[in-house]
Structure 1
Amino acid sequence: MRPTGHHVGVEEVLTGGNVADRVVRVGATVRKPALVQTAGVEAVLTHLADFDGSPRTLGRDEQGRHVLEFIPGALADTLPPFSLDELARIGRLIRELHDAMESFQPPPGTVWDAVVPDPAGGDLICHNDLAPWNLVRDGERWVFIDWDNAGPASRLWDLGYAAHGFVPFVARGNVDVDGPRLRALADGYGLDPEQRRAFPAQIAAHTRGMYDLLVHGHRTGEQPWARLYAEGHADHWGPTAEYIEAHHDAWVTALLSDHSHSELP
């Protein structure tokens, strides 16, 4: 979410999200309307209280809104592309998140709202929207925000979406550039050889899933996907999925080449 101004004690509307309506900042807090999945998000963030890469959850306000820690700093999508070292750091941060969530037990009756659910299922509760537009860099602290799409998935499904945004993959990209960048992310995470072989297909499937979601929204009028389709977002996701799919073997080669020298944790 992008702040439009700064007045402590005054509600300032934050922009940039697609799930919750009227998200505001009040001093050092963010207030979001409660959704069906909010109780689950609160449980996740409470579980992650010792993980520095997520905001603190601070209960509900008098209007019933979810109150969260406001993270100052710059959104990563407003900054230059990450270096290889920074991509490795993102990989390590996501690995720490996934490891922390292994012990999470959702409260009974929890409702999730993942945008593109993992078609293979999965029992790890993941962020499901790990992307530069949801990463705030506050000095040495890097924090993933906007957890409304949290839900069951797998490590590779969640990491695959992150690869799309952080490499970043675009239509007609440069394999010679993108391969080493993908490798840096995977090395930071510490993927084993079997995971490295499976990873490119997961990136492609998640990217293709986003395109299919936008097309479905266009056909049915479901929001916000119909609006995003009209704004041209499908023009990115479809051709990008084709690019990732077309170079599957190149990604596997980049991920596995000289694997004995990779930076595994």
Structure 2
Amino acid sequence: MSVREIPLIGDVSEGVVRVGATVRRPMRPSSPAVHALLRHLEAVGFDRAPRFLGTDERGRTILTYVEGVVPAHPLPAYAVSDEALTAVARLLRRFHDAAASFTPPPGATWEDGSAPEGPAELVGHCDVTPANVVFRETTQGLLPYALIDFDLARPTTRLFDVVTTVRHWAPLADPVDRDPMQRSLDAAARVRLFCDAYGLSARDRLMLVETARIRFGRSYTLMRDRARTLGGGWARMWAGGAGGRIRRAAAWLDANEDAIQRSLLPGS
């Protein structure tokens, strides 16, 4: 008797389904490298990510299904709380510390994406949006528990991955483009809260705004080019105004740079 396949809808990923207690994902050129990363995370005891179980008869990746709740848009109140923000910062730090000892296999292929200048420090997740975080019930309510969808994982730096994450969770965005529950949030204060919970170094705090500015520019070019060449989810996001949102976010960052930098000063 066959087990029913339940489509799992994401922003970009196509053909991802749940089959019983597993998730099946189409293979990509970067899949072997991602599988090696997931095996490493399991080996070092990081239990907040799916486990790689092999491939099925159709050549699809088999991963464990992580039980919990993934917030959808419009975001619910639990996903924008200060407690959720600090929990996702600590989760990212745990992942980075676990990934820091990972050595990619020779000739590893990763997805192209926005990347920092200079040498990489580790392989980051590079897509820690609310849609890629599983929440579970705790004594404090629903809080981030695990990271999923490592398709965009690639060599990067801690700071670049932090910036990518606070982009969505602070968020670093024009209020007109934020989810309704995020529009009144003090993004500068939340950047500080995230960095404190993560334990970001003083040097990286000084570079955070400039790194975000670089990331916005590269993300705009990357998404535009992927929409043109790959189509699919990338084309849908671009047609839905992704380019305009990135441009507005960059302008918002310029206008709020001083407030963000002040929030990151010692003793502020």
- The verdict on a shared fold, with TM-score over 0.5 as the criterion, is yes
Contact 2:70 2:130 (C-alpha < 8 Å) held by counterparts: yes
Displacement, 1:91? 1.3
Contact 2:121 2:158 (C-alpha < 8 Å) held by counterparts: no
225-234 or 249-258: bigger deviation:
225-234
Q: Does 1:231 align with 2:240?
A: yes
Classify 1:257/1:116 alpha carbon distance in 2 versus 1 (closer, same or farther; 3 Å).
same
153-162 or 205-214: bigger deviation:
205-214
2:149 corresponding residue in structure 1? 146
Contact 1:114 1:150 (C-alpha < 8 Å) held by counterparts: no
- Structure-2 separation of matches of 1:142 and 1:114: 27
User: Which runs of no fewer than 5 residues in structure 2 stay unpaired?
Assistant: 139-143, 177-182
- Structure-2 separation of matches of 1:258 and 1:106: 39
1:24 corresponding residue in structure 2? 17
- Structure-2 separation of matches of 1:86 and 1:147: 20
Displacement, 1:172? 4.5
Classify 1:79/1:172 alpha carbon distance in 2 versus 1 (closer, same or farther; 3 Å).
closer
1:72 corresponding residue in structure 2? 67
- Structure-1 separation of matches of 2:184 and 2:8: 36
Instruction: Map 1:160-239; keep pairs closer than 5 Å.
Output: 160-172=163-175, 177-217=186-226, 220-224=228-232, 225-239=234-248
Classify 1:59/1:89 alpha carbon distance in 2 versus 1 (closer, same or farther; 3 Å).
same
- Structure-2 separation of matches of 1:215 and 1:16: 19
Contact 1:76 1:133 (C-alpha < 8 Å) held by counterparts: yes
- Structure-1 separation of matches of 2:23 and 2:69: 16
- Structure-1 separation of matches of 2:117 and 2:76: 33
RMSD: 2.2
172-181 or 221-230: bigger deviation:
172-181
- Structure-2 separation of matches of 1:215 and 1:114: 13
Instruction: Map 1:46-57; keep pairs closer than 5 Å.
Output: 46-49=39-42, 50-57=45-52
2:91 corresponding residue in structure 1? 93
Q: TM-score, normalised by structure 1?
A: 0.86
DSSP-derived class of the 1:71 partner? coil
DSSP-derived class of the 1:12 partner? strand
- Structure-2 separation of matches of 1:214 and 1:35: 18
- Structure-1 separation of matches of 2:20 and 2:175: 43
- Structure-2 separation of matches of 1:147 and 1:119: 22
- Structure-1 separation of matches of 2:28 and 2:265: 42
1:5 corresponding residue in structure 2? none
1:158 corresponding residue in structure 2? 161
DSSP-derived class of the 1:228 partner? helix
How many residue pairs align between the two structures?
250
Q: TM-score, normalised by structure 2?
A: 0.85
- Structure-1 separation of matches of 2:172 and 2:22: 33
127-136 or 167-176: bigger deviation:
167-176
Contact 2:91 2:146 (C-alpha < 8 Å) held by counterparts: no
Task: Name which of 112, 120, 123 aligns with 1:122.
Answer: 120
Q: Deviations over 1:70-126 (max 9, x none)?
A: 122221344324322321221111111111111101111211114323344414111
The residue identity in structure 2 corresponding to 1:133 is: A
- Structure-2 separation of matches of 1:132 and 1:253: 27
Contact 1:171 1:243 (C-alpha < 8 Å) held by counterparts: yes
- Structure-2 separation of matches of 1:73 and 1:181: 25
The residue identity in structure 1 corresponding to 2:7 is: V
Classify 1:258/1:16 alpha carbon distance in 2 versus 1 (closer, same or farther; 3 Å).
same
User: Which runs of no fewer than 5 residues in structure 1 stay unpaired?
Assistant: 1-7, 260-265
Q: Deviations over 1:51-77 (max 9, x none)?
A: 122111111111111001112222134
209-218 or 195-204: bigger deviation:
209-218
1:102 corresponding residue in structure 2? 100
